[in-house]
Structures are given as structure tokens and as C-alpha cells.
Amino acid sequence: MTPTDEYSKEKQQMSGFRYQLNLFYLALSFFSRIPVPATVQYSAPLLNKSARYFSLVGITLAVILALSYWLLSPFLPTTVVIVCLLSISLLLTGAFHEDGLADTVDGIGGGLTVEKRLEIMKDSRIGVYGAITIIIALLMKYSSLLVIADSSQLIASLLLGYALSRAIAASLMFDMAYVSASSGSKSKPLTEQQSGAELTLLLAVGALPLFLFPVTTIVSVLISMWLFRSAFKHWLTKRIGGYTGDCLGAAQQISELLIYLLIIASSNTNNAGVLS
């Protein structure tokens, strides 16, 4: 039975709503440590189709962090609360995306050939490039969220950062080639290209939290995310000829940080305009 036949048979066995819910649970289990019902049906074709819900997984994680912030902020200083949120986030995801960022930097930064870069990226050990990158990324995320919390935009920023960054990362599967041949790759079951409808749903859900922000922020985020995706796609294609699961994790982490920085920059611009 081909993957397509297997997928069609599994889809026929589930009702419309149950099928979509099953896809969401698969996406949630793949990208987080959050428990899902034991009755969830799994197969590589179904997991591939679950990519449409990656941004919704981001919203789910952001809601948990927002609730954590609401519970902790009355009792702890903001600096401590932000550290708690970062820790909770790492626990919820198992540092899945951070690991991808480290492996991407190690591989592309340390390999002189495509083959060597892919080989390094498959290595479970973290190198100097990866370690330094993770430290810088966490420090930037901490400082950015601390500034955002002072402007009372933290919850909206978490929703946008977690949702849209996952949408940008997963959208790379739409028009890029998968290049890793490792059976243990993070994205091996997700290598089939998305349909236009799946990509539209992915991006629409990811961009939904933008409506919580002023127009200037919306415009700057949309333009910057398009530029980042184009530049990152070009860079990956030039360096390794496509994407790997680690590259998707790197795209998620970098775009999330960019979103926070853009929110801060837009907020400062708006405040300067009001003062003038």
C-alpha cells in the first residue's frame, strides 16, 4: 500500500471533525511534550498533513505561557517571571526548536561541503557555534520579553511570536526540497510538500494575533517576515540545497526573536510619535 492509499484509507475511517482533531493532536505531540489522547491515530502521511496546524500548536503553547504569567506575576518580580516562562516553554517543547537552531549553526558554520554540513547537523552533540548561539538567543529572548512586559504587550506578543514563527518555519516545506537522508531526522515524516490550502490555513492562523497590534506593527511584521523567509530560503538553498528538520527549528527561533524585536521597535516608534 502506498502512503497515499494509506492516508486515504485512514481519512475515510474518521469523520471530518475527528479527522481534523486527530491532525491537531499529531502536530501537538510532535512539537511539544503535552499529552494527547491515546486513541490518536498515527502514520507518516497523517503526520505530514498535520503541518497545517503547527501555528495552532504555537497558539496553544502561548496560551499556557499566558496563564502562567497571569498566575505568577502577582507574586514574583517580572524578571523572575520571564525566566519562569522561558523554563516552562523549554519544558513544554523539550527544547525541540532550540536544538534545531544549534544543529543548523554547527552544521552550516562548521562544514565546508554540503555532505559535511549535513553530517554535522545529524550529530547529537552540540558544538561551540551551537552553544554560543543558544546562549545569545535565550538572552535576547529574555531581554526582549522583559521590555515587552513593561509595555503591557506580553500576552499578545507571546501569541504572535509563537504562532507566526511556527507558520513561517513550516511554510518552508511548501516550496523547498528536503535534503537530509537520515531516517532519524526531525522532519522525515513531514517531507511531502504542502498544498496551497494547507499553507493558507497555516499562515492565516499564524497571522491571526496580528490583529492585537496597531497597523504600524502589523505592516512591519508582515514585511519583515516575508523578507526573512526569502533570505533564509535563499541562504539554505545555497548552503545545503534545501531544508532539514533542524533548519525548520532554526527558522522558528530566529523569526520568533525578530517578531519580538519588531514589536519593541514599533512600540518605541509609536511612543515617539505620541510624545512629539
- Residues 132-164 have pLDDT tens digits of 999 999 999 999 999 999 888 999 999 999 999
Residue 273 inside a domain? The answer is no
The answer to the question of residue 237 being in a domain is yes
pLDDT score of 190: 54
What is the mean pLDDT of the segment spanning 66-88? 96
Distance, CA of 82 to CA of 88 (rounded, Å): 10
Q: Is residue 239 situated within a structural domain?
A: yes
The string of DSSP letters for 233-267 reads HHHHHHHHSSB-HHHHHHHHHHHHHHHHHHHHHHH
Beta bridge partners of 243: 178
Q: Which three cell numbers stand for residue 29?
A: 505531540
Distance CA 264, CA 258 (A): 10
pTM: 0.87
Radius of gyration of the chain (CA): 19
- Quick: pLDDT tens for 106-131: 988 888 888 888 888 888 888 899 99
Helix axes 128-150, 78-93, angle to 10 degrees: 130
Could you report the per-residue pLDDT of 36-48, keeping only the tens digit for each? Answer: 898 888 888 888 8
Confidence of residue 274 (pLDDT cuts 50, 70, 90): low
Position 5 confidence tier, pLDDT thresholds 50, 70, 90: very low
The C-alpha angle with vertex 104 and arms to 31 and 193, in degrees rounded to 5, equals 55
55-77 as b/e: b if 16+ CB within 10 A:
bbbbbbbbebbbebbeebbeeee
* Within-domain flag for 223: yes
Domain coverage including residue 250: 53-179+193-267
Decide if 74 is inside a domain.
Answer: yes
Beta carbons of 98 and 169 less than 8 angstroms apart: no
Number of domains in the chain: 1
- The answer to whether the CB of 41 falls within 8 A of the CB of 106 is no
Contact indicator for 202, 170 with CB cutoff of 8 Å: yes
What pLDDT score was predicted for residue 175?
87
Residue 220 lies in a domain: yes
Question: Taking the mean position of all CA atoms in its chain, how far away is CA 106?
Answer: 19
Flag whether 29 is in a domain. no
Smallest CA-to-CA distance from 205 within 6, 45, 43, 57 is with 57
Please check whether residue 261 lies inside any domain of the structure: yes
